[in-house]
C-alpha cells in the first residue's frame, strides 16, 4: 500500500513525539511492505511565528492532498498568558477541523495493566476499563456567536442541528455495534444537560428517535455532572460515550487521568474525508527540547491512523501490542517511570524493536 501522510508537528513537545510516531510508521512500512510518504507543514504558534497565520494556506492544501494527517500539538505560553491576543495557535486547529469537515473526535480510554499503579484511582476501580468517547467537534458553543455587548457583559451562543447530531450518532452507534460483536457491552451513553439546555433537549430527542434503528444497542442518557462523577466512581460502566463539543472536551480530559498519564492516550478526528490523528496531551512547553516527553500517545495515534484511515487493522494492532510489551518490560519516560526513566527516543527504540 502506498499512502501520503501530512505531518504537522506543531509546538512544544509536538515535534519530538511526532518524530517518534513517524519512525514507528516507517518500521511498520518496512515490516508489512507498505510505502508511506511524509510531508511536513506548519501549524499553531510555530506557524504564527513564521507566517503570521496559525494555519497557512500551504498547510491546508498539504492536508487536503494527503491521505491522512499526523498532528503533534499546539500552544505557547506567550499566547496562553495573553487573553487579548487576536491571533492564537488554537485557531489553526479549529480552522483545520472546520475546513476538512472533521466533525467527530474519537478518544479511546484504556488502562494498561502495567500502569495501574500510576492512576490516581484504586486498582479495583480500573479493572476492565475500556471505553471510547465520541465528541462532536464542529458545533456547539465553540463555534457559535461570541460577543461582548458591553464592557461588563459577554455572550457565547451554543447551536446544534438535528443533522449534526445524527452524523456523529452513526459513528458512535456503529462503534458500539462493532464492540458488541467482540464481546464488549454494546452500550451508548449519551451525555447532556437536558434539564437545563435546549441544545441538550434536541440531542436527547434526536438520539431517542435515531436509536430505534439500533435495537441491539443499549442506550442510556446521563446528565454531564453525573457523568463526571461516574467516570471516576465506576468507569467500567461505560462502553461508548456520545456527547457534544464542550462536554466532550472536559470529560475526555478527566477520563484521560484514569490511564495514569496524559502521555499514553491517542485520538482521532474524523469526518467524511481525510482524518487527523493526535495524542491528547498539549504542547507541554516546559519539556520541549529535553527528550523527556512520552511519545506513546503519538505512537498510538499513528496506530489509529493505520486502522481508521488505511483499514490496516493488523498493522495497527502490531503497534498496540509492541507498546504494551514495552510497558510490561518496565520501560517508560519520566511521567510513568520516575525511578529509572528513559528518553523519548529510547522508548521509541524499544517499541520499534518489539515491532521488529
| 140 and 241 part of one domain | yes
Domain that holds residue 285: 1-101+272-356
- H or E segment at 59? helix 57-64
Domain end (from 226, 259, 292): 259
- Is residue 115 assigned to a domain? no
Residue 86: predicted pLDDT = 80
CA-nearest of 38, 68, 143 to 98 is 143
**More confident of the two residues 162 and 142:** 162
pLDDT in tens, 227-252: 999 999 999 999 999 999 999 999 99
| 322 and 251 part of one domain | no
β-pairing, 146-150 with 153-156? antiparallel
| 249 and 320 part of one domain | no
Residue 306: predicted pLDDT = 98
The CA distances from residue 120 to 80, 87, 193, in Å, are 27, 37, 27
- Is residue 264 assigned to a domain? no
Residue 204: predicted pLDDT = 98
Residue 45: predicted pLDDT = 95
Dig out the grid coordinates for 110 from the structure.
484504556
- Is residue 111 assigned to a domain? no
* Percent of the chain scoring above 70 in pLDDT: 100
- Is residue 112 assigned to a domain? no
pTM for the structure as a whole:
0.92
pLDDT in tens, 185-230: 999 999 999 999 999 999 999 999 999 999 999 999 999 999 999 9
- Is residue 108 assigned to a domain? no
Q: Please state, in angstroms and rounded to a whole number, the distance separating the CA atoms of residues 133 and 256.
A: 11
| 355 and 280 part of one domain | yes
| 222 and 252 part of one domain | yes
Q: Quick check: 350 pLDDT over 90?
A: yes
Q: Using an 8 Å Cβ cutoff, are 294 and 333 in contact?
A: yes
Q: Quick check: 80 pLDDT over 80?
A: no
Domain end (from 229, 259, 289): 259
Tracing cell 451508548 back to the chain, one arrives at: 188
Average the pLDDT over 299-326 and give the result. 97
| 247 and 164 part of one domain | yes
- Is residue 337 assigned to a domain? yes
Within 8 A by CB and 6+ apart from 297, the residues are: 17, 262, 263, 264, 265, 266, 279, 280, 281
**In CATH, what number is assigned to the domain containing residue 217?**
3.40.718.10
Q: Quick check: 84 pLDDT over 80?
A: no
| 283 and 182 part of one domain | no
Dihedral pair phi/psi, residue 39, rounded to 5°: -130, 130
- Is residue 278 assigned to a domain? yes
pLDDT in tens, 258-301: 998 889 999 999 998 999 999 999 899 999 999 999 999 999 99
- Is residue 109 assigned to a domain? no
Give bridge partners of residue 61 from the DSSP assignment. none
Mean pLDDT, the chain, rounded, equals 95
Burial 167-176 (b: 16+ CB within 10 A, else e): bbbebbbebb
| 157 and 248 part of one domain | yes
| 87 and 192 part of one domain | no
Domain end (from 197, 231, 259): 259
Q: Using an 8 Å Cβ cutoff, are 268 and 105 in contact?
A: yes
Active site residues: 142, 193, 225, 249, 253
Q: Quick check: 78 pLDDT over 90?
A: no
Q: Quick check: 257 pLDDT over 80?
A: yes
Dihedral pair phi/psi, residue 236, rounded to 5°: -70, -10
Q: How many domains does the chain have?
A: 2
Amino acid at each position: 500500500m502506498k499512502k501520503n501522510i501530512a505531518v504537522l508537528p506543531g509546538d512544544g513537545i509536538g515535534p519530538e513525539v511526532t518524530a517518534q510516531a513517524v519512525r514507528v510508521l516507517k518500521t511498520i512500512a518496512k515490516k508489512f511492505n507498505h510505502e508511506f510518504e511524509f510531508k511536513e507543514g506548519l501549524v499553531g504558534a510555530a506557524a504564527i511565528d513564521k507566517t503570521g497565520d496559525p494555519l497557512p494556506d500551504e498547510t491546508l492544501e498539504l492536508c487536503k492532498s494527503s491521505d491522512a494527517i499526523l498532528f503533534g500539538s499546539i500552544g505557547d505560553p506567550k499566547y496562553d498568558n495573553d487573553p487579548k491576543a487576536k491571533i492564537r495557535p488554537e485557531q489553526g486547529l479549529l480552522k483545520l477541523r472546520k475546513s476538512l469537515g472533521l466533525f467527530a473526535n474519537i478518544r479511546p480510554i484504556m488502562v494498561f495493566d502495567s500502569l495501574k499503579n500510576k492512576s490516581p484511582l484504586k486498582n479495583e476501580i480500573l479493572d476492565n476499563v475500556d471505553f471510547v468517547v465520541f465528541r462532536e467537534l464542529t458545533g456547539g458553543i465553540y463555534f457559535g456567536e461570541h460577543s461582548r455587548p458591553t464592557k461588563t457583559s459577554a455572550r457565547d451562543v451554543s447551536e446544534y442541528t438535528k443533522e449534526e447530531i445524527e452524523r456523529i450518532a452513526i459513528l458512535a452507534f456503529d462503534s458500539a455495534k462493532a464492540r458488541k460483536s467482540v464481546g464488549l457491552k454494546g452500550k451508548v451513553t449519551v451525555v447532556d444537560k437536558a434539564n437545563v439546555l435546549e441544545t441538550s433537549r434536541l440531542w436527547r430527542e434526536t438520539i431517542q428517535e435515531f436509536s430505534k434503528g439500533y435495537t441491539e444497542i443499549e442506550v442510556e442518557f446521563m446528565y454531564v455532572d453525573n457523568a463526571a462523577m461516574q467516570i471516576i466512581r465506576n468507569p467500567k460502566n461505560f462502553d461508548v460515550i456520545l456527547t457534544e463539543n464542550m462536554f466532550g472536551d472536559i470529560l475526555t480530559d478527566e477520563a484521560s487521568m484514569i490511564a495514569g498519564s496524559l502521555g499514553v492516550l491517542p485520538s482521532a478526528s474524523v469526518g467524511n474525508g481525510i482524518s487527523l490523528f493526535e495524542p491528547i496531551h498539549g504542547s507541554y512547553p516546559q519539556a520541549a527540547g529535553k527528550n523527556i516527553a512520552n511519545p506513546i500517545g503519538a505512537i498510538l495515534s499513528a496506530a489509529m491512523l493505520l486502522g481508521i484511515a488505511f483499514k490496516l487493522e493488523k498493522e495497527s494492532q502490531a503497534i498496540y501490542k509492541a507498546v504494551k510489551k514495552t510497558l510490561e518490560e518496565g520501560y517508560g519516560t519520566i511521567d510513568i517511570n520516575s525511578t529509572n526513566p528513559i528518553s523519548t527516543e529510547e522508548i521509541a527504540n524499544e517499541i520499534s524493536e518489539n515491532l521488529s
